[in-house]
Amino acid sequence: MKICKNCKAEVSLNYCPNCGSPAELTRIDGTYVMKEIGRVLNFDRGILFTIRELVVRPGKTIRDFILEDRNRLVKPIVFLLVCSLFYSLIQQIFRFEDGYVGYSLEKDSTVAIIFKWVSGNYGYSNIIMGIFIAIWIKIFFKKYGYNFYEILILLCFVMGMGMVMFAFFGMADSLLDYEIVDKGYTLGILYILWAISQFFDGKKIINYPKTLLAYFLGMISFMIGIYMVGGIIDFFK
Ligand SMILES: [Zn+2]
């Protein structure tokens, strides 16, 4: 009898009967690394699969993730962080205008510093924005019975996709020397609104204006939050 390294149960087979961990962990080798890379890029799971599913049928894909199967998609918070990082990288390489959270303020104010942090750290700031938007969506779509965290997961997926779209339009903008980055931001936001409505019920027309209003109020609350925090800090300085 061996002892499971994970949960300390007795193991007589290849896998622990209690927690499912393999009894013997094999050494890391080339096969392991290739498998790992394959898993990330796999069209049946992985990031490309996740993106494809979120483009074609976002509502059903995210509902299935929440209610049925969590193994096929990339984990939502990781997805949002990776997509945001991808956007920032592409934006710095191609140097298109960052119009996602644009700001123009006097340089010394704390509010300006916070906005600068926001646009320098889209990964984290998207999660914070998501929290604000999730609160409003929870209020507007209360009767669907999803809890706050499930809505936050929905937002991680759709905002991640938004970042990917912003990045591609920005890239196209600087490669084609044609002003389409602003249309990219509009399209990205439209995708986010469409996907959220699909998630709840795409056939209900009322869900589209409700999503728009919840998203808008979420962004406004986020901005007000920044102005309040910045204002309080400046006041005491
Ligand atoms: Zn175990």
What spacing in Å lies between the alpha carbon of 93 and ligand 1's midpoint?
46
Q: Would you tell me the crossing angle of helices 207-236 and 110-120 to the nearest 10 degrees?
A: 130
Please tell me whether residues 109 and 20 are part of one structural domain: no
Q: Are residues 173 and 102 in the same domain?
A: yes
- The answer to whether position 46 is within a domain reads no
pLDDT at 178: 75
Per-residue exposure over 6-35, b if at least 16 CB sit within 10 Å of its own CB, e if not? eeeeebeeeebeeeeeeeeeeeeeeeeeee
Q: Which residue has the tokens 């984290």?
A: 124
Same domain, 95 and 199: yes
Residue 103, pLDDT score: 64
Residues, Cβ < 5 Å to ion ligand 1 = 4, 6-7, 9, 16, 18-19, 21
In terms of domains, do 23 and 126 share one? no
What's the 229 CA to ligand 1 centre distance in angstroms?
Answer: 47
How much is the pLDDT for 100?
74
In a domain, 143, yes or no: yes
Are both 165 and 82 inside the same structural domain?
yes
Number of domains in the chain: 2
Give the Å distance between the CA of 14 and the centre of ligand 1. Answer: 11
Q: Is residue 208 part of a domain?
A: yes
Dist. CA 23 → ligand 1 center (Å): 8
Looking at the domain assignment, is residue 47 inside a domain? no
CA 28 to ligand 1 center in whole angstroms: 21
Are 164 and 221 part of one and the same domain?
yes
Ligand 1 centroid distance, CA of 173 (Å): 52
Give me the average pLDDT of each 10-residue run along the chain (237 residues).
Answer: 87 89 87 83 80 96 94 91 93 84 71 88 93 97 96 97 93 83 87 97 95 96 94 88
By the 8 A CB rule, do 23 and 14 touch? Answer: yes
Q: 82 and 14 share a domain?
A: no
Q: Ligand 1 centre from 12 Cα, in Å?
A: 11
**Is 142 part of a structural domain of the chain?**
yes
Task: Give a yes or no: residue 63 inside a domain.
Answer: no
**Count of C-beta atoms within a 10 Å radius of residue 103:** 14
CA of 69 to the centre of ligand 1 (A): 22
Ligand 1 centroid to Cα of residue 39, in Å, is 24
122 and 176 belong to one structural domain:
yes
107 and 201 co-located in one domain? yes
Cα separation of 135 and 149, whole Å? 10
The Å distance, Cα 78 to ligand 1 centre, comes to 26
Question: How many A from CA of 13 to the centre of ligand 1?
Answer: 11
Classified as helix, coil or strand, 10 is: strand
**Is residue 6 domain-shared with residue 93, that is, in the same domain?**
no
Can you give the pLDDT at residue 195? 97
**How far is ligand 1, taken at its centre, from the CA of residue 11, in Å?**
8
Residues 20 and 106 in one domain: no
**Range of the structural domain that residue 165 is part of:** 75-236
CA of 50 to the centre of ligand 1 (A): 30
**Which pTM value belongs to this model?**
0.85
- Residue 55 falls inside a structural domain: no
Q: Residue 20 C-alpha to ligand 1 middle, in angstroms?
A: 6
Give 197 Cα–ligand 1 centroid separation in angstroms: 41
Q: Would you state the pLDDT for residue 105?
A: 65
Q: 96 and 211 share a domain?
A: yes
CA of 172 to the centre of ligand 1 (A): 50
- Quick check: is 98 in a domain? yes
